[in-house]
Amino acid sequence: MSRPVVAIIGRPNVGKSTLFNRLVGGRVSITEDTPGVTRDRLYREVEWQNNYFLLMDTGGLELGSDDVFAKEIEIQVDMALETADLILFLVDGREGVSNLDRMIAEKLHKGGRDPLVVVNKVDTHHTPDTVYEFYELGFPDMAIISAEQSFGLGDLLDDIIDRLPKESSHSIESDALKISVIGKPNVGKSSLINQLLGENRMIVTNIPGTTRDAIDSYYERDGKEYILIDTAGMRRQRSIDNLVERYSVIRTLSSVDRSEMCLFLIDATMGVTEQDKRIAGYAHNNAKASIIVVNKWDLVEKETNTMKEYEDKIRNDLAFMPYAPVVFISAKTGYHISQLFETINRVDENYSYRMPTSLFNQILRDATIMSPPPTDKGKRLKIYYGTQVTTRPPKIIFYCNDADMFHFSYMRYLENTIRKNFSFEGVPLVLEARERKEREE
């Protein structure tokens, strides 16, 4: 079910991202004193008094600027104005009304929007006279806050809820599959999400590092809900030469942490690089369901077995995640997008799969007969039984007489046996050995 959308707009450095972070209850938007840090529309769900809405952060408007990103930001804000149920027009209470505030107000009037003017950076209960200057912008509703000090935010949230259409109280994120789109800069992550959503939801340029924040898009396909998380491209550490870039890497890693599945994008014209291995390794080490997506396949010259040879090379380069299916796509043309979603749904089902305990232990017994457990100084490893204790990710515990004897190679053998007999495509398995006293026969 869709939620009302509240968009925060305003000129640079009035505190939009700080307000956004306060309302969503965490540090999500990148907040720096550098103008233009927030470029894309950034969504998060906000709950207040059992009411839910989507809060949208936008880049700082610099109307009339010739800068390429300033123009892109204006396009994104225009989209926000079209889709938002309520506009929060954020202004700086310390500086008073600026010419850029007046230009933004004129834009809102022309668009027929009646925003709630939010006067930020008022750190005292005594209202300064400069606050009343903002009535000249022509909007009757005003809220006075300090986002940094969390002053007035409860009253602001009450005002927001009063102005929104009423919605169901359950969270939209509860049943939606959270998917992070990860990879190096400029591999087509934003282009893929734009292709899926059918609109220029993300700013897409050929400049690496355009996407700085992790951005959530709510998407429904064939009755199934998804949250697509576009992330900043991760560069090598020595390439991260400013604080905003470092924040972006943190955003990418935290986006992987809060997702259930990762689409790992590779540029088909470049192949797998060392940085690709690091990015995929982070998702693997955190036991996220994963799909390797080879983008820009339309730019590769094809011969007989080109796709198979390319996949074989990926398997060699990313040998630590042989379970991840490989899908070849073109985000630009839409090639194999339907196949990608078929794979996503199949991997999602596998992520929730639970093995029947009796069948699993029968297969485990057969595996130990075919290849007996290792011995050490005359003592043999005994595996009493195994059980799957969790899903998403599947965690499997083997109870044995000596966990130290459970060598990595034998654990890998049992994992391969499990994968041959059960459907865990796209899913990392968390395997653990635990000691217990030998059962009496």
pLDDT of the residue at 243: 38
pLDDT of the residue at 1: 39
pLDDT of the residue at 233: 54
pLDDT of the residue at 354: 97
pLDDT of the residue at 436: 86
Q: Which residue stretches of the chain have pLDDT < 70?
A: 1-3, 26-43, 68-69, 72-73, 76-77, 79-80, 166-174, 199-215, 232-254, 437-441
pLDDT of the residue at 371: 97
Do the domains spanning 5-163 and 357-435 agree at the CATH topology level? no
Which token pair is 218? 């709510």
326-343 burial, b if ≥16 CB within 10 A, otherwise e?
A: bbbbbbbeebbbeebbeb
Pairwise CA distance, residues 211 & 230, whole Å: 8
pLDDT of the residue at 72: 67
Q: Which CATH number fits domain 5-163: 3.30.365.10, 3.40.50.450, 3.50.50.60, 3.40.50.300?
A: 3.40.50.300
Q: What CA dihedral angle connects 297, 303, 309 and 311, to 10 degrees?
A: 20
CATH architecture of the region 177-351:
3-Layer(aba) Sandwich (3.40)
3-state secondary structure the chain: CCCCEEEEECCCCCCHHHHHHHHHCCCCCCCCCCCCCCCCCEEEEEEECCEEEEEEECCCCCCCCCCHHHHHHHHHHHHHHHHCCEEEEEEECCCCCCHHHHHHHHHHHHCCCCCEEEEECCCCCCCCHHHHHHHHHCCCCEEECECCCCECHHHHHHHHHHHCCCCCCCCCCCCCEEEEEECCCCCCHHHHHHHHHCCCCCCCCCCCCCCCCCEEEEEEECCEEEEEEECCCCCCHHHCCCHHHHHHHHHHHHHHHHCCEEEEEEECCCCCCHHHHHHHHHHHHCCCEEEEEEECHHHCCCCCCHHHHHHHHHHHHCCCCCCCCEEECECCCCECHHHHHHHHHHHHHHHCCCCCHHHHHHHHHHHHHHCCCCEECCEECCEEEEEEEECCCCEEEEEECCHHHCCHHHHHHHHHHHHHHCCCCCCCCEEEEEECCCCCC
Backbone phi and psi for residue 144, each to the nearest 5 degrees, phi listed first: -115, 125
pLDDT of the residue at 66: 72
pLDDT of the residue at 25: 80
**Residue among 414, 392, 422, 426 nearest 280 (CA):** 426
pLDDT of the residue at 81: 75
Q: pTM for the whole thing?
A: 0.63
Residue ranges covered by each domain of the chain: 5-163, 177-351, 357-435
In contact, 418 and 429? CB cutoff 8 Å = yes
pLDDT of the residue at 40: 46
For the domain made up of 357-435, the CATH class stated in words is: alpha beta
